[in-house]
Structure 1
Amino acid sequence: MAAESTPGTGTPGTPGTPGPRRRARGRRRGPRGGRRTGVLVAAWAAAGVVVLGGAGAGYVYLKLNGNLESVDIDHALGTDRPTKVDDGSENILVLGSDTRSGSNKALGGGADDGSARSDTAMVVHVHEGHRKASVVSIPRDTLIDRPECTDTDGDVHHAVRGVMFNSAYSTGGAACAVKTVESLTGIRMDHYLEVDFSGFRKLVDELGGVRVTTTEDIRDPESHLDLGAGTHRLTGEQALGLVRTRHGVGDGSDLGRIQLQQAFLKALVEQVGDVGLLTSPKKLYDLADTATQAVTTDSDLGSVNSLMSFAAGLKGIGADHMTMVTMPVRYDPADPDRVVVAEKHADRVWKALKQDRPIPRSATEGMATGEAEGVVSAP
């Protein structure tokens, strides 16, 4: 194995999607960008700080509770949704957005216009018993039929055919993103979680960096990422560059980037278990403070107590018990920069989750991949 590299610096690039941008909807301090990979860290850290707070537990609780932002998705969507299944499993939509304002502007690039678009999305299915999870990434460039939806401000957005998946969030915020995913999958989302650019970067730095091994050089001028083949301890900015790059490895598509994101998430989950947080209350507090400022949740998870309960249900899931796939898609014959849902294969994925079963390998065989699998892994 190659020697571990010295952490460097880098400013992530701006691989975005053309089109109009609008402010995300919901109750929040201001626009938030997103990276999905800090969510489990946020829940675990928030729970741990409250446990270790001692005499200062009251202050710690109020401080962390005040950090959290939430959106009332259930109220916005009403009753016209898939049936809620009470079988011990849970479905969580984890979303990242490339907001271009505030501290995220330097990370996301573009104009400081307060707008937001969903950059990445994944459906996390926690199986009954909460010992295993299946994760399905939804490519943002997927052409879909967006259903009519009502955002959290009460504004109605009419249905549109043949638009990109990430237009749901830019049009109607978190509520419309959830509505679109439920329409696409036929599965009720029990929870919603979103993490921002700057929060993701700080989380990685609070953890002391995340170690990954690359099997080939990854160089992308757009994300200022320059990694030689070998083992690296990535800084927050390097990690953000890695999960955003699409030109440095694979076929240059969003699908390749998803494969890098999934590999990084597994490395992050493995490291959280080894970081020794419980031996350092200050380190745990600093991490929880950063994490709870970075995350936006649905209203049911919008308190530290709720996050504690949520975290308790996830603590038994390690990287070895996470199955990660991309929603089955094919490249659009009319536009190689877009993909379309491979409906028969995708139906097998969603059927498996509805029945709380493992996703069959046949569901993803022969689908477009992005050609970046195996390039990044935990050392």
Structure 2
Amino acid sequence: MTQNAVRAALPDGRREPASDEDPKEGPSDGDGGDAPASGADGGRRPRRGRRLLKWSAAVLALLIAGSATAGYLYYQRLNDNLEKDPLNLGDSKVAEPTPNAAGQTPLNILLIGSDARDSEENQQLGGARETFGSTPLADVQMLVHLSADRTNMSVISMPRDTLVHIPKCTDPDDGTVYPASNGRVMTNRSLGHGGPGCTVATWQELTGIHIDHFVMVDFAGVVSMADAVGGVPVCVDANIHSRTSDGKGSGLKLEKGTTDIRGEQALQWLRTRYGFEDGSDLARAEAQHMYMSSLVRRLRENATLSSPNKLRRLAEKATEALTVDPGLGTVKELYDLSTELRKVAPERITMTTMPNRYVGARVEPTEDAEKLFRLVREDIALDGKDAKPEKAEEKVPGDPAAADAEIAVQVRNGTRTDTLAAAPGRTSTVAGVLRDKGFAEATADTTGSLSEERTVVRYPSADLEGDARRVAEALGIPASAVKRSTDVSGVTLVVGADWREGTAYEAPGEDDETPESAHALNGADDEACMHVDPAFTW
């Protein structure tokens, strides 16, 4: 080992003393003292204390170097445990949110629970032997929104049977192109269109929310991580056994009251549909929210996780269980994210389910869902405890608007609601208003009506953003209602239910209350209890 290596291993390059005694005083037997000793030839003989000192320093340097190497190798092993997939497999992108006045931006992370039965363990845990090796489904989807100022967190669950348009996605492994869905299909199928990046693309298309990261976990991962944490408390208001007469159900069996669940029992809780509330995916989402809230509280309160061995076990189980995007592809990046998330107290966490209505046996987003998405896009706390954040001045589009007379605008009627038919003649009227203002290329699309709660101007690509903003400005439509979308081929004005009559648009006052239909649960609520269907008690 070189002298430089030895120096690097010790503070300030100093040599370590050979014993615990004060180095200024020689050992009691005189060996290694400061006074030189003479040899038989009258010269200076080697001092054993100096030799011991050098050997001690060398051994210490070797131990430090060995420990550092072991730590590095262990760190690399944890990094290698993480499976990584691209963030977004779709063609369209959603603009990143505008920073607030302090220059801070929110974080949006999509949590995905896969029902993959791609291993013997996952098949055993998931059941349904006939589905072994089949295309996985994204049966759990939750968007976690961390506010720009890191004071609050919002979670939105989307039921797995929500009908959505899945955009075109390209599999990064073999280049397979999955065309955009022909009509609406269940959102959980998005995972089979190339991977979690297509689920991200589907969410962005539906919500207009820019997603920064995703984290995906499978059955085995849920079980191993629940074991590593040491149990999570959940509550039922009666004894429950989730099993139907024909053998369906998760198999969850609990007594009335609060129980610490772990391992396979935790997976059963998260998957239970038969036995909770009305037996729907909506009830399952409520149960998942209860589990997540309790998990957060347990992690913050559980002092046993200060044990290095328990932390190491949790780190190993977590990294083995997760698939992440490259932006979270190292333990350090995951740790940094967890540090940001830990800044939020449980009482500032709000769990919600996307407002929806039934379409046959499936569900679709409602107007309240769009309102919930807007609150997240605008970084408004769902618990109502924050004032609307001050925003920095909006960025000017890179491509300026064309002359008004050269901007082609298509006007569509979106005034239809759940209770009212579309207001007649709105496209012709509003197109006429635009032409009167100098937009000679404004045309009315009378092919059908849409349902749009608020008037919106959409554009398909960045080069038309300036034109879209100019149209909104001319009509007094707020800039927040100008949105990029691949559903249109040019600048498109959709006259919403907020402009059913008249020629002058009046922007409605902003309602920033979380819709009741979102079934909000506060993260600090430790008294929540799942209602058990009497048909599943024992």
Pick from 348, 354, 357: which aligns with 2:380? Answer: 357
Amino acid at match of 2:178: H
**Matched residue, 1:82:** 94
CA distance in 1, matches of 2:71, 2:221: 23
**Matched residue, 1:13:** none
Amino acid at match of 2:126: G
The SS at the match of 1:259 is: helix
Amino acid at match of 1:364: P
Question: Where does structure 2 lack aligned partners over 5 or more consecutive residues?
Answer: 1-66, 100-104, 244-248, 385-511, 521-526, 532-538
Q: Deviations over 1:159-212 (max 9, x none)?
A: 221211111112332121111100000111110110121111111112222122
How far 1:366 moved relative to its partner? 4.5
How far 1:278 moved relative to its partner? 5.1
C-alpha contact 1:152 1:175 (8 A) present in aligned 2: no
**Matched residue, 2:148:** 128
How far 1:218 moved relative to its partner? 2.4
CA distance in 2, matches of 1:315, 1:260: 22
CA distance in 2, matches of 1:131, 1:55: 39
TM-score by length of 2: 0.56
**Matched residue, 2:295:** 268
C-alpha contact 2:90 2:167 (8 A) present in aligned 1: no
Q: Deviations over 1:219-266 (max 9, x none)?
A: 211211111211211121111111111011110100000000000100
**Matched residue, 1:202:** 224
How far 1:363 moved relative to its partner? 4.6
* 1:42-191 alignment, distance < 5 Å: 56-74=70-88, 76-77=89-90, 80-87=92-99, 88-102=105-119, 103-110=121-128, 111=130, 112-153=132-173, 154-160=175-181, 161-191=183-213
The 1:151/1:363 distance shift into structure 2, 3 A limit, reads: farther
C-alpha contact 2:113 2:138 (8 A) present in aligned 1: yes
The 1:156/1:55 distance shift into structure 2, 3 A limit, reads: closer
CA distance in 2, matches of 1:210, 1:241: 13
**Matched residue, 1:6:** none
The 1:55/1:212 distance shift into structure 2, 3 A limit, reads: farther
RMSD: 2.2
Amino acid at match of 1:184: L
The SS at the match of 1:375 is: coil
**Matched residue, 1:24:** none
C-alpha contact 2:234 2:294 (8 A) present in aligned 1: yes
**Matched residue, 2:246:** none
**Matched residue, 1:338:** 362
C-alpha contact 1:218 1:228 (8 A) present in aligned 2: yes
CA distance in 1, matches of 2:80, 2:198: 26
How far 1:115 moved relative to its partner? 2.8
Question: Where does structure 1 lack aligned partners over 5 or more consecutive residues?
Answer: 1-52
CA distance in 2, matches of 1:233, 1:362: 34
TM-score by length of 1: 0.78
Q: Deviations over 1:104-124 (max 9, x none)?
A: 111111232253111110111
* 1:236-255 alignment, distance < 5 Å: 236-255=263-282
How far 1:297 moved relative to its partner? 0.5
How far 1:364 moved relative to its partner? 2.9
C-alpha contact 2:90 2:201 (8 A) present in aligned 1: yes
C-alpha contact 1:269 1:318 (8 A) present in aligned 2: no
C-alpha contact 1:201 1:237 (8 A) present in aligned 2: yes
**Matched residue, 2:488:** none
C-alpha contact 1:131 1:314 (8 A) present in aligned 2: no
CA distance in 2, matches of 1:151, 1:94: 20
Amino acid at match of 2:365: V
CA distance in 1, matches of 2:87, 2:167: 15
CA distance in 2, matches of 1:202, 1:72: 25
CA distance in 2, matches of 1:136, 1:368: 10
Give the structure with higher Rg (CA): 2
C-alpha contact 1:243 1:257 (8 A) present in aligned 2: yes
The 1:177/1:307 distance shift into structure 2, 3 A limit, reads: same
How far 1:317 moved relative to its partner? 2.2
CA distance in 2, matches of 1:209, 1:283: 13
CA distance in 2, matches of 1:271, 1:294: 20
The SS at the match of 1:172 is: coil
How far 1:151 moved relative to its partner? 2.7
Amino acid at match of 1:59: L
Q: Deviations over 1:29-63 (max 9, x none)?
A: xxxxxxxxxxxxxxxxxxxxxxxx98843232112
**Matched residue, 1:31:** none
The 1:281/1:328 distance shift into structure 2, 3 A limit, reads: same
**Matched residue, 1:228:** 255
CA distance in 2, matches of 1:86, 1:155: 34
| Structure of greater relative contact order (alpha carbons < 8 Å, 6+ residues apart) | 1
* 1:293-312 alignment, distance < 5 Å: 293-312=320-339
Larger mean CA deviation between 227-236 and 247-256 belongs to 227-236
Amino acid at match of 1:146: I
Larger mean CA deviation between 95-104 and 150-159 belongs to 150-159
**Matched residue, 1:281:** 308
Pick from 345, 354, 368: which aligns with 1:318? Answer: 345
C-alpha contact 1:97 1:119 (8 A) present in aligned 2: yes
CA distance in 2, matches of 1:348, 1:117: 27
How far 1:134 moved relative to its partner? 0.3
C-alpha contact 2:115 2:136 (8 A) present in aligned 1: yes
Amino acid at match of 2:515: T
**Matched residue, 2:50:** none
How far 1:365 moved relative to its partner? 2.4
The SS at the match of 1:194 is: strand
Amino acid at match of 2:194: G
CA distance in 1, matches of 2:94, 2:323: 23
Q: Deviations over 1:312-344 (max 9, x none)?
A: 211212332211111110112xx2x311111x2
Number of equivalenced pairs: 316
Pick from 370, 375, 379: which aligns with 2:529? Answer: 375
